[in-house]
Every structure is written in structure tokens, then in C-alpha cells.
């Protein structure tokens, strides 16, 4: 297999759909071997079958909030493809609620998945990455919500700001090891999460799907949703050999919505 990531072992969390699946497809084209991690078996199996079972492996039951589940999944990944050399932290969720209706249970759930989950997976995989050194990569999928603010998603914004901060701190700690750590911060992206949000807006407000979609595209100066493949292209660049001097960055993929990271 040829390509910039030929035979590199990549672990992608939240790999069953949306941005995670797009990243898996993109890195597979670069020759990577992929451990596709997530909670639900069926979508992971579909992506693995698409990419080829000789080059990819689905790891279901991979709950980023559960260190024991992560350890089991990593053991399975090691057995299939050996040590992980590139980690893509993509798993997350984005429930919305006004702040005064955001209970402690919702707050803790979002931070547990979107921030502590990133911490948990990095802790588990870091020994592999440090052993590999110069060509090892961590790419955290954050959000423009980690660079700015949005109403009605205070927990999500707090968690993604935390991911960006963690990225920057860890980049400095690991700089001399050769392991790079970066965040990719998509704007509103054409994924199942957005589709569900549009359905909810339609159901709650009676607006048309087109009017609901406009609530998301208005944030992007290009007046459109970001495509998952555009996020995946950025991840592929950061994962490749030409990005060895890029670390501690939070790169917005958002059509100009956020002009400084």
C-alpha cells in the first residue's frame, strides 16, 4: 500500500458516521490501517466493510467515558494492527438547551463525552505515541465552538474550549518527543447531527427545513455548511509527514467564520 500514511495505524473515535467516517475514508486513501472505534457496532461495521476488512477493523463498545472500555478497545486494536501511531479524537455530542434549563446532569454528560473523553483516550494511547515519537500525531476534532461562543450550547462550548486548551498544553509537553498535537475546529458541518437539529427546529417552531437550515448557514460567510470531506482533508494534512512542525494549533474549517484560532 502506498500513500503518505502507508501502513500507519490510525485510531479514529466516533468513526461510524459523519466527520469520523469521512476521516476514515480519507486516511484509508493515504494507505493507513484503521481501527474504527465507537459505541454502536452496525455503522462501524458498514464503514469497515466499505474500506476493506484487510485495512480496517471495527471496535464497538468503545465508550470514551469509560477507561476500561477504552483499554479493551485498545487491546483489540493492538491485536489487529499493532501500536497506534496516529490518534483522531472525534467522538462527541452536541445537545442544546438554554443555560437556565441546562441541568447539572446535562452539563456533566457533555463534558464527560466531549472533553474528559478526549483526556481518557489520549491517556490510554499516549504510551504508543511516545514510543513512536517523531511521526506520531494527535488530532482532536474540536469545533468553532471552541474558538467563539454560540447561544443555547453552553456546555458544548465549554467542553470544546477545553479541548482546544488541552491541545495547546499537551503540544508543549510533548514537543520534544516529536508527537504533534493539533485541533481541527469545524463550523456547522453537513452531518447527521445537523440533520437531527434541523428536524428538531422544524418540529418545535413550525419553520420549514430550508428556514431551519438557514439558522446554521448564516454563521458561515460562504453561506453554506462545511462538508465532512473538507474536515477530513485538514486531518489528513496534519497526520502526514509534512506537518511535523505544526503543533498546538486550532485550525478553523469554517468558511471564514472564525478568522483567528
Per-residue model confidence as pLDDT tens digits over 19-78 = 999 999 999 999 999 999 999 999 999 999 999 999 999 999 999 999 999 999 999 999
Percent of residues, the chain, with pLDDT higher than 70: 98
Cell numbers that stand for 200 in this block: 428538531
Owning domain of residue 238: 9-187+226-253
Indicate whether 142 belongs to any domain. Answer: yes
Active site residue 150: no
Q: CA-to-CA distance for 204 and 188, rounded, in angstroms?
A: 20
Indicate whether 220 belongs to any domain. Answer: no
What pLDDT shows up at residue 187? 94
Cell numbers that stand for 193 in this block: 447531527
Average pLDDT over the chain, rounded to whole? 95
In the chain, the number of structural domains is 1
Indicate whether 214 belongs to any domain. Answer: no
Indicate whether 1 belongs to any domain. Answer: no
What pLDDT shows up at residue 225? 95
Q: CA-to-CA distance for 93 and 109, rounded, in angstroms?
A: 9
Q: CA-to-CA distance for 13 and 220, rounded, in angstroms?
A: 26
CB atoms within 10 A of CB 151: 9
Q: Please choose, from the candidates 105, 141, 107, 94, the residue with its C-alpha nearest in 3D space to the C-alpha of residue 121.
A: 141
What pLDDT shows up at residue 1? 59
Indicate whether 215 belongs to any domain. Answer: no
Cell numbers that stand for 37 in this block: 472505534
Which residue positions in the chain have pLDDT lower than 50?
A: none
pTM tops 0.85:
yes
What pLDDT shows up at residue 200? 83
CA distances from 175 to 59, 89, 118, 181, 236 (A): 30, 19, 19, 9, 20
Q: CA-to-CA distance for 210 and 215, rounded, in angstroms?
A: 9
Indicate whether 72 belongs to any domain. Answer: yes
CA distances from 29 to 37, 54, 231 (A): 18, 14, 15
Which listed residue (81, 156, 188, 216) is catalytic? 156
What pLDDT shows up at residue 204? 86
Indicate whether 195 belongs to any domain. Answer: no
Torsion angle of the four alpha carbons 260, 147, 195, 57, in this order, in degrees rounded to the nearest 10? 100
Contact 246, 37 (CB under 8 A): no
**CATH number of the CATH domain containing 95:** 3.40.50.720
What pLDDT shows up at residue 193? 82
Indicate whether 131 belongs to any domain. Answer: yes
Amino acid at each position: 500500500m502506498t500513500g503518505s500514511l502507508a501502513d500507519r495505524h490510525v485510531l479514529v473515535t466516533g468513526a461510524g458516521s459523519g466527520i469520523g467516517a469521512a476521516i476514515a475514508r480519507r486516511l484509508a486513501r493515504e494507505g493507513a490501517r484503521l481501527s474504527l472505534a465507537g459505541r454502536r457496532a452496525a455503522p462501524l461495521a458498514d464503514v469497515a466493510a466499505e474500506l476493506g476488512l484487510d485495512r480496517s477493523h471495527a471496535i464497538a463498545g468503545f465508550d470514551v467515558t469509560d477507561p476500561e472500555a477504552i483499554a479493551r478497545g485498545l487491546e483489540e486494536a493492538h491485536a489487529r494492527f499493532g501500536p497506534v501511531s496516529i490518534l483522531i479524537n472525534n467522538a462527541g455530542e452536541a445537545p442544546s438547551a438554554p443555560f437556565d434549563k441546562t441541568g447539572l446532569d446535562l452539563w456533566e454528560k457533555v463534558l464527560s463525552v466531549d472533553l474528559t473523553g478526549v483526556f481518557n483516550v489520549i491517556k490510554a494511547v499516549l504510551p504508543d505515541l511516545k514510543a513512536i515519537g517523531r511521526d506520531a500525531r494527535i488530532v482532536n476534532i474540536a469545533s468553532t465552538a471552541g474558538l467563539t461562543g454560540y447561544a443555547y450550547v453552553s456546555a458544548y462550548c465549554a467542553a470544546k474550549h477545553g479541548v482546544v486548551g488541552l491541545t495547546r498544553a499537551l503540544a508543549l509537553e510533548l514537543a520534544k518527543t516529536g508527537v504533534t498535537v493539533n485541533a481541527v475546529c469545524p463550523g456547522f458541518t453537513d452531518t447527521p447531527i445537523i440533520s437531527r437539529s434541523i428536524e428538531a427546529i422544524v418540529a418545535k417552531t413550525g419553520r420549514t427545513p430550508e428556514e431551519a437550515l438557514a439558522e446554521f448557514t448564516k454563521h458561515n460567510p460562504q453561506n453554506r455548511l462545511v462538508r465532512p470531506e473538507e474536515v477530513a482533508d485538514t486531518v489528513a494534512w496534519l497526520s502526514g509527514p509534512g506537518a511535523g512542525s505544526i503543533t498546538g494549533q486550532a485550525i478553523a474549517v469554517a468558511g471564514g467564520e472564525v478568522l483567528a484560532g
